[in-house]
Amino acid sequence: MRIACWQATARRTDVPAALRALRARAGEAAEAGASLLVTPEMSLTGYHIGARRLRQLAEPADGPMCQAVSEIASANGIAIVHGWPELSGGGVYNSARLVDSSGEESATYRKAHLFGDIDRNAFSPGDTGLVRAELGGVPVGIIICYDVEFPESVRAHAVAGTRLLLVPTALMSPWDFVAETLVPARAFESQLFLAYTNWVGSERELSYCGLTRVVGPDGRVVAGRRDGEGLVLADLDLSLVDRARAETTYLADRRPELYS
């Protein structure tokens, strides 16, 4: 399975520009043979743009932004994970949506662990921890940014059978160690592939640190990019998941009755 991660430059609140760029990157990724394109956290609107502006831009999952992404996916024959402020029931959620190569929605995840005032002032927390779908026969899951810093979130996916975990993020400096240390550790301890996709550039006082990477179940970086905008292409040998789980039997050796 070949996937692409788009390390994008922050374009504050410029939704039309974000969609134009997404169309171009989706075409590039499909041309390169990728079956999936993963984009950063809140990729259609920008992340740190203020609670008022996020609420102004918020749309439901069948709104124009999501419809535009579905059309881009269908036109290029590639599955896409994108982020946007989801309006639902009067609340606004930090959401990531997976559409398949025909543009049909496969899954939508709402960020469960909210990061500081940036998130809590703008979003309601999601209340579903485990969101998964099948993509080309591969069980994939979605979490967002700060969620990956909770080992329970990733382990729950591993126990459920997720083999590829997609993590749109907005990681800023000086927390580079999250991408460099925690992300490989999460992939290794839960023995799955993890696609961690970040921004570059700045929004307000935040400076995003890039470091987009795809990490294998052995904790090694399959492909990555430190800085600058561009696609990260990664070929995933999914048999490595079974091999890792056979060689280091973390999942079989768990004693969950002791952890409550």
Residue 205, burial from CB neighbour count under 10 angstroms (0-12, 13-18, 19+): exposed
Q: What is the DSSP letter of 59?
A: B
Rounded Cα distance between 138 and 118, Å, is 34
Q: What is the DSSP pairing of strand 199-203 with strand 2-9?
A: parallel
Q: How many CA atoms lie within 13 A of 204 on its CB side?
A: 7
In degrees and rounded to multiples of 5, residue 87 shows phi and psi of -90, 120
Rounded Cα distance between 46 and 65, Å, is 13
Rg, C-alpha atoms of the chain: 17
So which residues are the catalytic ones? Answer: 41, 111, 145
Q: Pick from 90, 122, 87: which is nearest to 108 by CA?
A: 87
Residues β-bridged to residue 36? 3, 79
Tokens found for residue 166: 């997609």
* Matching residue, tokens 């768990």: 254
Q: Pick from 9, 12, 83: which is nearest to 42 by CA?
A: 83
Q: Which amino acid is at 181?
A: T
